[in-house]
Structure 1
Amino acid sequence: MNIYSFPPLIAALITLILGIIVFLRKTKSSLHFSFFLFNLSVFIWLFSYSVTYSINNAKIAFFFTKAACTAVIFTAPTFFHFTINYLKLTKFKKLYIFLYFLLIILSLLFIFTKYFLNEPYLYSWGYYSKAGPLHPYYLVLHFSILSISFFLLIFYRIKNKSKLSSTEKNRLYYAIIAYTIASLSNIDFLQKYGFGFYPFGFIFILISNFILTYTIIKYRLMDIRIILTRAGIFIFVYSLVLFIPIILGITTKLWIISIVLMGILSPIGIFVYSYLRQRIENILFHEQQRYQIAIREMAKRMTSIREVDKIFHEVVNEIYNVIQPQFIGFYIFSNLENSYVLSKDYFPEDYLFDKKISSDSQLIIMLSKIKRPILAENVGFLNFPFETLVVPFFNENQLVGFIVIGQKKNKMMYTNSDFLVFDILSSQVSLALQNAYH
C-alpha cells in the first residue's frame, strides 16, 4: 500500500467514527442524522482517494476518482442540511431536498460522462481526478451552497444576538469556526487543475469535525481558545511525527525503517504534546488560574468559620474581588416567606433582580435535584442575564442558599474548570453551614 494512502485513510475512518458516535447518541434527531450524512460523504471521499493513491492501473484509478468526486458533490448539500437543522430553520426544508435531487442528477453526469471529470492525473504520490470542461460550473454551484450555509450562520447570530443565551452563542461561534476551518479543505480542488502538491485538505475537515462533534454532544462547552490551542499543538506535533518518517522513506526508500521510526516517535509525541499544551495553556489562562486558586483557598477556610452571616459575607466578598463579575448576590432561605431572599449583593443600579425567589421555581427545583453549580439559563430560569452562574449551598439535603454570579469582567464564558472549582466551593461551604447550624 502506498504510504501516501495512510493519512486520508486514517482521516476517513476517524470521520466515520465521529459521525456514527453522534448519530447513535440520538438516532431520531434530524440534526444528528444530517451530521452523519455529511461525515459519510467525507468518509467516501477520503477513503476512495486513499485507495486511488495505491492503484497502478489508470482505468481502476479513474473509477475510484469518480467515487471520490461523487462523494464530494454531496458534502455541500449535506452541510447545508446540517446547518438548517443546527439553526432550526425548518422553512428551508424544501430547498435542501431540491438540492439533493439536483446533485443526484449531477452525480450521474460525473459518473457516466467526461463533461465534469476526465481520466486522472498521475502525480508522484498517485492518481488524482482531472477536471473536465464543465467542472468550473460545478464549482460555482458547490461554493454557492457553502456560502449560503455560512451566510445563514452569520446572519442568524447577528439577528438573534440579544435573544440567544451565552451557551447558544458559543455553540454558534463554534459552528462558524468549524465551517471556516473546513472551507480550507477546498484547496484540494487545485490538484484537479494540474497543481501537483499532495492533497492535505483532510486535515482541515478532521479538525472541523472534532469541533462540530464536540458542540453537538457536549452540554457545557469548553472555551474555544482551549479547543483551538489543543488542536493546533496536536497538529504541529503529529505533523512532525508523520512528516519525518515519510521524508525518510521517500529519500531512502527504506519504508520498513520509516514505519518503525513512526512507531517510536508516536508515543514520544504524546509527551511532547502534553508538555507544550500545559506550558501554552498556563500562559493563555494565567488570570483564570489565578482566581481559581484563590477560590480553592477560600473554600478550604470555610470549614473553620462557625457564624452563618460571616460565611455568606466571606464568600460574596472574595468572589467579587477575585473575579470582578458584573454582579453577585447571595440568596438565603426564609421560613417565614417560604422563599429565597436576597441577603447580600453587589448589583449595579440598572440591574433590577427579584428580591426573593419562590421555593417552587424551576431554578430551586433543579438546584435541589442536581446539587451542583449550573447556569441559570440552562434550566429555563431567565430572571437573570445570560451567563449567570448559580452555586448552591446545602445543610445536609436542604438547599439553604445560593449565590448568583454574573458574567466575568473580561466577558469570557465560565469553563469546565470554573465549574469544578465552584463545585468544590459548594461542597466546602455546605459543610461549613452544617457545622454552623449544629
Structure 2
Amino acid sequence: MKWIVLVGGIANFLLGLLILKKGAPIPLKKPFTIFAFLTSLWVFSNFIFLVSPSTFWFRTAYALGALIPSSALIWVLCFSTGKKPSLSLSYIGYGIGFLFFTLCYVNNIFIAGIIPQVSGFKENYGPFFPVYSIYMSGILLYLLYRIFLCSRKFTGIKREQAKYIFLGGATFAIISFVVSFLLPLFGYAKYGILDSPSSLFFVGFTVLAIIQYRLLDINVAITRGTIFAVVYALVLGIPIGVGYWGRTYLSGRIGVNWWLVPVGMALLLASLGPAIYGFIRRKTEAALFKERQRYQENLIALAKQMTLTKDLRSLLILIIRNVTKEIGISYARIYLLDNKANEYVREVHYGKERRRQFGDSLPNEAPLVQMLYRSRDIGPLLKEEVISHFQTREPEHLKEVEAQLRSMGAAVLLPAFIGEELIAFLVLGTKRSREIYTPDDLGMFKILAGQSALAIENALFYQELKESQSAMVQASKLSSIGELAAGFAHQIDNPLAVISAGCEL
C-alpha cells in the first residue's frame, strides 16, 4: 500500500499544476495551487517515512501537515467571498501554520520521535500533541461547515461547486477518521497509511468543481456513483468470493482446473457489467428524477409544435413562455437578428424587466456576439464559461461582457444558427429552484435551439411572403385604380369633345 501513497502525492501535485496552467477564477488560482502543492508534499513525506522510517521524516510529515489547514482555510474563504485574500489574512493564516510547522521539530512538544521495535516501530508523541490534533481537526470541521453554508446560500453553478467541494472534504475527513482512529481500535492500524492519500478526494473534487462548469447535479452524481460501485463490487466480488470460499468444493469436483469457474464468471460478469449498470441507472433515475425528465420531454414536444406556428411574434412568445414555464426560470429574453441595422434586438422577454443600459440590442461586432458565432459547434454556453473565456483569452473585453450579462440577467445563452448565420439567441436566467443547468439540460437546449432556428426562419419567410403578397395586392389595386381613372377620363373626354365641336360650329 506504500505505492498508493506515492500515487496520491503525484496526483495532488498534478491537479495543483492543472489549476495553475489551465486557469481558474482569479481569486482561487494561487491559494488553491499552494494548498494542492503543500498537500502533495505532505503525502510525499509520508511515503518517504514509510520507505525509510526515521524521526526526521516522522516530524516532517506532521510539520507539512500543519501547513494544510491554514492554506485550505485561505482558499475556502476566497471561494466563499469571491475575492482575493487580504495580506493580513494571508499573514495570519500562514503564520499560524508555520508556527505549528516549527513546533513539530522541537523535541517533545508535539512529536517525540519513533521507537524501533522487532516488528517495525512505535510512534511516540509529545505531551502537547492533543493541541496539534485539535488545531487540525478544528479547522477541517470549520472548513466543512463554511462550505456547507455556501452550498445553502449560493445559487446556480456556484452552489453545485460548493456541494462537490463539501463531498470531497467530507470523504477525506471520514476516511481519515476511519483509518486513523476507528480501525486501530480493532487492531487494523496498518491502514493508517491511507490517511494522507485520501486527501486526493478533497483536492480532486475541488479541481473538478473549479474547472468543469458543466457539472452533473450532485444528486445525479451520487446516484450514478453508488450504482456503479454496487454493480462493479458484485462483478468483482462474486468471482473472488467463489474462488476464495468455493475452492475446496471446486477442486473436489473439477480438479486442478477449478480456477476456470471463477475466471469464466469474471469474464461473463465483466461483459454484462456495463449493460447491467446502464439498465439500473436508467430505472433509478426515471424513478428519482421524474420531474426533470417530464419537462425535458415537454420541451422536445415544444420543438415539434413550433414548426406549426407561422406568425413570428406568436412563435417567439410560444418559445419563451413554454421554456420558462417548464424549467421554472426567473427571467428570459430572445434576441433576433435585424439585418438592416446589423444588430441583435430584444424582441420578447419574460420576468421582471432588467436595466436597459446594455440589454436591448447588441451590435453584430460585439465581443459577446462574436463568441456566440464561434460556439456554433458547442451549443449553449453557461455564463461562467463565457466569463472564463474572456478572463483568459480576451481580458480587454471582460468588463464590457460582464456588464452585458449582468444587464441581461443571463445564466445560459442559447445561440440559434441557420447554416453559418446566427439568426437569434435566447437568454435564460437562473432556475427558481436554484438548481444548476445540468449537461442533460444543455444537450436538450441544443436540440431546442436548432428547432427554434428552423421555426424562426420559417416564420420570417412566411412574414416576407405575406409582405410580398400584400405589396402585390397593393400594386394590383393601384393598377386597377389607374385603369379606372383612365376609363373615367376617357368617358369624360368624349362628351367634352362633342361640346367643343358644337361650339366651334
Match in the other structure for 2:181: 190
Query: Which stretch of structure 1 is more off in the superposition, 403-412 or 301-310?
Result: 301-310
Report the equivalent of 2:115. Answer: 119
Greater CA drift, 11-20 or 101-110:
11-20
Corresponding residue number in structure 2 for 1:73: 66
Q: TM-score, normalised by structure 1?
A: 0.72
**Contact 2:15/2:203 (8 A) holds in 1:** yes
Instruction: Give, in angstroms, the shift of residue 214 of structure 1.
Output: 0.5
Deviation (angstroms), 1:175: 2.8
Shift of 1:401: 3.0
Q: SS at the partner of 2:406?
A: coil
**Structure 1 residue 96 corresponds to structure 2 residue 88:** no
- Does the alignment pair 1:411 with 2:434? yes
Unpaired segments ≥5 residues, structure 2: 249-258, 388-401, 462-505
Shift of 1:418: 0.9
Amino acid at match of 2:34: S
| Percent identical | 22
One-letter identity of the residue aligned with 1:79: A
Cα deviation code 1:318-344 (max 9, x no counterpart): 324432433444333456776654444
Picking from 222, 226, 239, the partner of 2:220 is 226
The reply on whether 1:315 has 2:319 as its aligned counterpart is yes
Q: C-alpha offsets along residues 36-85 of structure 1, whole Å, 9 cap, x if unaligned? A: 31440453266458x56xxxxxx848777556545533432342344355
* 2:452 equivalent in structure 1: 429
Which residue in 1 is equivalent to 2:303? 299
| Aligned pairs (5 A) from 1:311-390 | 311-334=315-338, 340-347=344-351, 350-352=352-354, 354=356, 357-360=360-363, 363-371=368-376, 372-376=379-383, 378-379=386-387, 380=402, 381-385=405-409, 388-390=411-413
User: What is the CA–CA distance in structure 1 between the aligned matches of 2:115 and 2:241, rounded to whole Å?
Assistant: 29
Letter in 2 for 1:433: I
Task: Summarize deviations over 1:160-203 as a string: whole Å, max 9, x none.
Answer: x5xx6733343334333433333223414427986633446568
Q: Is the 8 A contact 2:156 2:434 kept in 1?
A: no
Bigger helix fraction:
2
Distance in 2, Cα, partners of 1:67 & 1:31: 22
- 1:196-248 CA-partner distances (Å, limit 9, x unpaired): 33446568634333311201221333322233333444454566677778989
**Counterpart in the other structure of 2:495:** none
CA distance, structure 1, for counterparts of residue 235 and residue 299 of structure 2:
40
How far the C-alpha of 1:421 sits from its partner, in A, is: 1.1
Distance 1:309 1:395, change over 3 A: farther
Q: Pick one of 415, 419, 431 that aligns with 1:392.
A: 415
Any stretches of 5+ residues in structure 1 without a counterpart?
Answer: 53-58
1:338-365 deviation digits (Å, cap 9, x = unpaired): 6654444443xx5456496122366545
CA displacement at 1:117 relative to structure 2: 4.5
* Residue matched to 2:293: 289
Whether the 8 Å contact between 1:131 and 1:192 is mirrored in structure 2 is no
Deviates more, 1:143-152 or 1:89-98: 143-152
How does the TM-score come out when normalised to structure 2?
0.64
* Per-residue deviation, 1:419: 1.1
Alpha carbons 1:396, 1:434 under 8 Å: kept: no
Local SS of the residue matching 1:402 = strand
Q: Name the SS of the counterpart of 1:359 in structure 2.
A: strand
**Relative to 1, partners in 2 of residues 1:146 and 1:203: Cα closer, same or farther, differing over 3 Å?**
same
Q: Distance in 2 between matches of 1:410 and 1:24?
A: 34
- The answer (yes or no) to whether the contact 2:19–2:207 under 8 Å persists in 1 is yes
Q: CA RMSD in A?
A: 4.7
Q: Structure 2 vs 1, CA of residues 251 and 84 (structure 1 numbering), >3 Å: closer, same or farther?
A: farther
Alpha carbons of 1:321 and 1:128: their partners in 2 closer, same or farther (altered >3 Å)? farther
Q: Closer, same or farther in 2 for the Cα pair 1:366/1:431, shift >3 Å? A: same
Q: Deviations over 1:283-324 (max 9, x none)?
A: 333322222233234335555665534542442343244324
Mean Cα deviation higher: 82-91 or 413-422: 82-91
Query: Match for 1:422: what amino acid?
Result: F
Task: Check whether the contact 1:207–1:231 (CA below 8 A) recurs between aligned residues.
Answer: no
What's 2:30 paired with? 30
For the residues of structure 2 that align with 1:317 and 1:277, how far apart are their CA atoms?
A: 32
Within 5 Å, give how 1:30-49 maps onto structure 2: 30-41=30-41, 43-44=43-44, 47=47
- Provide, for residues 260-293 of structure 1, a one-character-per-residue CA deviation record: whole Å limited to 9, x for no partner: 97x9489469635555444433333332222223
CA contact (8 A) 1:65 1:128 kept: no
1:383, distance to aligned residue in structure 2 (A): 1.9
Q: Which amino acid aligns with 1:312?
A: L
Q: Give the CA deviation at 1:148.
A: 5.1
1:140 pairs with 2:131: no
1:36 match: secondary structure? helix
CA 1:127/1:238 → structure 2, altered by over 3 Å: closer, same or farther? farther
Q: What is residue 180 of structure 1 aligned with on the other side? A: 170
Q: Give the AA of the match of 1:392.
A: P
In 2: Cα distance, 1:133 partner to 1:16 partner = 33
Distance 1:313 1:88, change over 3 A: closer
Answer yes or no: is the 8 Å Cα contact 1:393–1:402 preserved in 2. yes
Letter in 2 for 1:142: M
- Alpha carbons 1:121, 1:130 under 8 Å: kept: no
Give, as a single letter, the amino acid of the residue that structure 2 aligns with 1:428. Answer: Q
Q: 1:431 to 1:336 in 2, by over 3 A?
A: closer
In 1: Cα distance, 2:118 partner to 2:9 partner: 22
CA–CA separation in structure 1 for the residues paired with 2:159 and 2:450:
30
* Counterpart Cα distance in 2 of 1:376 and 1:214: 18
Question: What is the one-letter code of the residue matched to 1:101?
Answer: F
